[in-house]
Structure formats: structure tokens, C-alpha cells
Amino acid sequence: MRFAIVRFPGTWSDRDCYRVLHDVLGQEASILWHRETDLSGYDAVVLPGGFSYGDYLRCGAIARFSPVMDSVVSFAEAGKPVIGICNGFQVLCESHLLPGALILNDSLQFRCEWTHLRRDGGDTPWASAIPAGDVIRIPISHGDGNYFAEPGTLDELERDSRVIFRYCDEHGDVTAEANPNGSQRNIAGIINRRGNVLGMMPHPERAGEDIVGGTDGNRIWTSLIEAGLAAVR
């Protein structure tokens, strides 16, 4: 597959995404400066983590108006796969491709640590190879990852099976202790209505090789790659 990895001023995980997608998983991948607007040569778009525009105003609020974002919105609305990781998730929320917002961690701390995530929810090409109930181990690294939405929006997300990852303990139990940032209902990742857009705070690209402590992040990338291959067959 051909992945477009978008780099905004202040993005920091673009190289990690490239390393995993290209070097580890053997996919085509390009890092795109945020002033690019042509996504026609790509099968999937990655909005990586970081601190776009220094997190000024609100996380992701300025990046949302970068030239590339109109193309990303069109790409997503065409049903093509888009993933926003950490700051990328914040950009997707600011762009209204996903509901809710990410606010300051309830601990007020920047949290950089391994978390366990339980696969919940419905169909998405981003997690098609991860059965419901499976627990994967992926690190977080953020100060503003506290997922907030109004109760009605949360109920709608639950009803439509759009909560894809929840913070849990190693056994898969969703507990307050396993919630690293105060996110409502332990939400770590959600999808849009069509399921082609996934936003998540944890960093799958930082769990792509044994030397960094685990490879569970690759299950997200390979889900999409296998789903893409199945669609072509």
C-alpha cells in the first residue's frame, strides 16, 4: 500500500511511522509537507503525533487549517482510510472528522508509558485483524489525551460500536486505574460512521519492533494492509 505521512510544523512521529511502514512492513510510504494538497497517489493517510504549531491555542487547532487538510477531509469523505495518532487524533477532532475533543490529562502530567488497550466496537479496516476482546500493548505519550464528548455523543458512539480501543489492564478489564488521562469511558480510540477514519491517542508506530519493547502496533497497520489486499482480490 502507498501511505502518505503528513508532516506539520512540529510533528515528531513522522519518521517513526515511516520506519515502521517502510522499513519494517515493506510498504510504500512518503512524508508529505503540510503544504502539499495532492493525495491522489496514496491509498491511506497518516496524521502522526507531535506538537503541530507548538500546540498553540488548542492541540491541533491550527494544523486543522493547513493546506493539506482540505484534501485529507475529501480523502476521508471518499471512504479512504485515514488514521490520526495522538496529535493526529486531535487534528481529526478539530476538523470534525471525529466527534469530541482531547483535553488536558486529569493528572496534569505528560504521560509517556505503555498502556493496554481492549479491542471493542465494530468493523474498521484499521482493526479488522484484531478480534473483539483482544488486548494489545501500545505506548502513549501525551499531555492532552483526555477524551471528552457530551453524554449524548458518547451514547451514540457506544450504540454505533465506534469505540474501537479502551484503556484496560493486562487482563482486559476496563478500570479507573488503567485510565492514564481521565478519558471518558476509558476511550483511547474511535472511528467515524463509515469506519474508515480512526483516531487514537496511543502510538502504534512506537510498538513496531521487539527492540522498542513490543510489536502489537503492527496489528493495526497489518489490519489495514490485509483489508486493502482483500479489497483488491
Distance, in Å, from the CA atom of 161 to the CA atom of 168, rounded to the nearest integer, reads 17
Q: Is 73 in the site for other proteins (CB under 8 A)?
A: no
Runs of H (alpha helix) within the chain: 14-18, 67-77, 87-94, 151-159, 218-232
Assess whether 116 carries a catalytic annotation: no
Select from 50, 163, 61, 65 the least CA-distant residue to 117: 163
205 classed as catalytic: yes
Residues 177-216 binding other proteins (CB under 8 A) are 182
Q: Is 162 exposed, middle or buried (0-12, 13-18, 19+ CB in 10 A)?
A: buried
Work out how close the CB of 58 gets to other proteins at its nearest, in angstroms, rounded to a whole number.
6
Q: Could you say which of 86, 94, 142, 168 is catalytic?
A: 86
Name the grid cell of 65.
487549517
Scanning 27-35, 99-107, 120-128, 219-227 for contacts with other proteins by CB under 8 A, the matching segment is 99-107
Query: In sequence order, what are the beta bridge partners of 117?
Result: 136, 167
Q: Does 65 bind other proteins (CB under 8 A)?
A: yes
Among the listed residues 94, 120, 205, 216, the single contact to other proteins using CB under 8 A: 94
**203 classed as catalytic:** yes
**Which parts of 22-161 are beta strand (E)?**
28-33, 44-47, 82-85, 101-103, 111-119, 135-142, 146-148
Residue closer to other proteins (CB basis): 149 or 198: 149
Asked if 174 interacts with other proteins (CB under 8 A), we say no
Q: Is 104 in the site for other proteins (CB under 8 A)?
A: yes
**Selected range binding other proteins among 44-52, 54-62, 123-131, 162-170, rule: CB under 8 A:** 54-62
Distance CA 58, CA 36 (A): 23
Among 15, 19, 58, 111, binds other proteins (CB under 8 A): 58
For residue 23, give every residue at least 6 positions away whose Cβ sits within 8 Å of its Cβ, in sequence order, or none: none
For residues 123-162, which are near other proteins according to CB under 8 A?
146, 148-150
| Residues lying near other proteins in the complex (CB under 8 A) | 57-58, 61, 65, 93-94, 99-101, 103-108, 146, 148-150, 182
